[in-house]
Chain A
Amino acid sequence: MKTNNVILETATKVILFIILLFSVYMFFAGHYEPGGGFIGGLMASGAIVLLLIAYDLKTVRKILPFDFKKVTALGLLFAAGTAAGGLFFDKPLLTHWFTYVYPPILGKMSLHTAVIFDTGVFLVVVGVTMTIIQTIGESE
């Protein structure tokens, strides 16, 4: 059932990127402002769901040719890898490390291993949501 919804399609093209950008912002702001991997991930998948509503499964598959199960697995690997990383420095499991750097122009920046962990969360959330929606959608 391919319906031509020009307004929705056009709007989606613009809004999609705004949402995605916002989700990335949310993700990185997470350590200081409201946000983080969960919200970022959910928002990104929300954007993809919007894409799904505006177009259809096949189009989305063409635009994003990932196997979302693998995205989930990759996310878990990120998270578990960060968790285990501490062990190599003779620290307990899940010990994070952070520092501040002062690159020119940008000013103070902080670097966290927690971000890698959160990336894992982000990827898992996107992967899981998309796996669920794609599988249900395709079963029709």
Chain B
Amino acid sequence: MEILMSLLIGVIFMSATYLMLSKSLLRIIVGTGLLSHGVHLLLLTMGGLKRGAAPLLGQQAEAYTDPLPQALILTAIVISFGITALFLVVAYRSYQELGTDNMELMRGKEGNE
């Protein structure tokens, strides 16, 4: 399972990178969203999969899965939500102001000094 997941993570990262490198701001945002999914799965896979019961002591199990990656991922999910929302608003505002979502056209020359 871990090997399969590693390959899947590679595929997600690849698509995310490709999206982020494109010119459209919109695709970049979708790319970052995808990238965070990849990172979360990577964290989870690194901690080992299905090594025991869910990390709830109420389960009275012999072994539990590693709770730390889960806590990290939970934090990361919420943060990435905030970031995505911020990105969306930046995209929306810049489209309103500049009339484009093409990053190459947005390269302002002022403010270079």
Binding site for B on A (CB under 8 A): 32-34, 38, 42, 125, 128, 132, 135-136, 139
Contact = CB atoms under 8 A, between A and B. Distances in A.
B56 A33 contact: yes
Contacts of A32: 56, 58
Given A38-B74, A125-B78, A132 B85 contact: yes
18 contacts: A32-B56, A32-B58, A33-B56, A33-B58, A34-B54, A34-B56, A38-B74, A38-B78, A42-B78, A125-B78, A128-B82, A132-B85, A132-B89, A135-B89, A136-B88, A136-B89, A136-B92, A139-B92
Say whether chain B's binding surface is mostly helix, strand, loop, or mixed: helix
Nearest to A128: B82
Interface residues of B, number: 10
Contacts of A136: 88-89, 92
A90 B75 CA distance: 29
Contacts of A139: 92
Interface string B46-85: 0000000010101000000000000000100010001001
Indicate the member of B58, B78, B85 with the most A CB atoms within 10 Å.
Answer: B78
Given A38-B74, A135-B89, A136-B92, 13 more contacts: A32-B58, A33-B56, A34-B54, A34-B56, A38-B78, A42-B78, A125-B78, A128-B82, A132-B85, A132-B89, A136-B88, A136-B89, A139-B92
